[in-house]
Structure 1
Amino acid sequence: MADQVLIVDDDPAICKLLEKVMRSNDMDSQAVGSGEQALQALETRTFDIILLDVNLGDMEGFEVLRRLRERGIKTPVIIISGRNEDYDSLYGLSLGADDYVTKPFRPVVLGAKVKALLRRSREFSSAASQ
């Protein structure tokens, strides 16, 4: 079964690019355009990884991340943002993000980061269950 990726970005062009990158890495994705849609999607299904923009129309991605961590959702999160200040990446990581990638990004590198994070997440989960 293919890995399931939730893409959260209010820019349709970025969503299409991210979906293409995930498909090229044999992953299935669902794209949503707002923080509220992301939180609703996480109530109804599970994902293996979340790609999250910071600047969303209805709330910041930081707020989405804070809420999902408060709910106990431990799904790995990579923030993908045009905001490239150190304090933004430090804040995102302090809220529980696993990585912070700035736009513009190199699709092949992002695909490799996603695969690496999924691999580490699986290794950690299997070690914790033993």
Structure 2
Amino acid sequence: MGRTAIDVLIVDDNPVDQKLLSAYLKAYDVSFDIAENAGAAFKKLHDFTFKLILVDVNSTEMDGYQLVETIRGDLDIPIVAIIGDDVEEVKAKCFAIRMNGCFTKPISKIELVGVLTQFDVLTVNTSRNTGVERFKVIDLSYLKEVSMGDTDYEREVTSKFIEVISAELMLLTDCLDNERFDELKNVTHKMRSTIYIMGLGAKLSAHLQAIEDDDLSKAQLAHRIELIKIICTKAKEEAQEFLEE
């Protein structure tokens, strides 16, 4: 008899974070379990199967980095870090031990939805008629599905997308111009969560993954980034149009 399947394992000893993540996951009918320390986490990984693990790497009850390294030795499950400081050194340490992503406290519902979608935990029905098929680049089926009719949430997400993607595009260009290639890979990794909420995965994932994973020359990187900028600029225009309706 196989082990019971659960969508997400939260490894975090902070009651506030636990409550916040629980509320977000319940809102989208995502099943989850919580472990407050490494011992509890390993027991749950032995007893259940999970699609995704969220780990607070700065938990007071354990060394989150060591926990991830140990899990990586036995299991191939996407692991996303919850970090307290949005600094490149922390992100670099996370990616060095093969984490699949990271997001910063305070935990954002918008960013969490992007992570859940990216790792196929949250599935959305894109076959429904949303009434917004006129857009050529963005696909609002994702947003309409996860918002569950909350138009204030849709406006918040759309505004945040425009803000975040604008900053990330500027950072891509700056990293390329100044040959900060490691930071460039980190930026593209984070963008892979940003783009999903606006349905841009099919158009951008291959370009972002190539920058992150392939050994590209500066000219090849510049070409990929230019294509990303063209798509994202049009996406921003359409997002702004949707926001102004």
Question: So what's the TM-score if we normalise by structure 1?
Answer: 0.81
Seq. identity, %: 26
> For 2:17 and 2:30, how far apart are their aligned partners in 1?
17
List 4+ stretches of structure 1 deviating above 4 A: none
> For 1:3 and 1:40, how far apart are their aligned partners in 2?
14
Q: Which amino acid aligns with 1:96?
A: R
Contact 1:7 1:29 in 2 (8 A): yes
> For 1:33 and 1:14, how far apart are their aligned partners in 2?
11
Structure 2 residue runs without a partner (length 5+) = 122-245
2:47 to 36, 44, 56: 44
Contact 1:8 1:51 in 2 (8 A): yes
In terms of fraction of residues, the more helix-rich structure is 2
1:101 to 100, 103, 106: 103
1:84 to 74, 83, 86: 86
Q: Which amino acid aligns with 1:16?
A: K
Contact 2:69 2:97 in 1 (8 A): yes
RCO higher in structure (CA 8 A, sep ≥6): 1
Structure 1 residue runs without a partner (length 5+) = 120-130
> For 1:80 and 1:26, how far apart are their aligned partners in 2?
21
**TM-fit CA distance, 1:86:** 1.3
2:37 corresponds to: 34
2:71 to 68, 77, 93: 68
Give CA-to-partner distance per residue, 1:73-124, whole Å, 9 cap, x none.
11111101113331211111121111110111321221222122226xxxxx
1:118 partner SS: coil
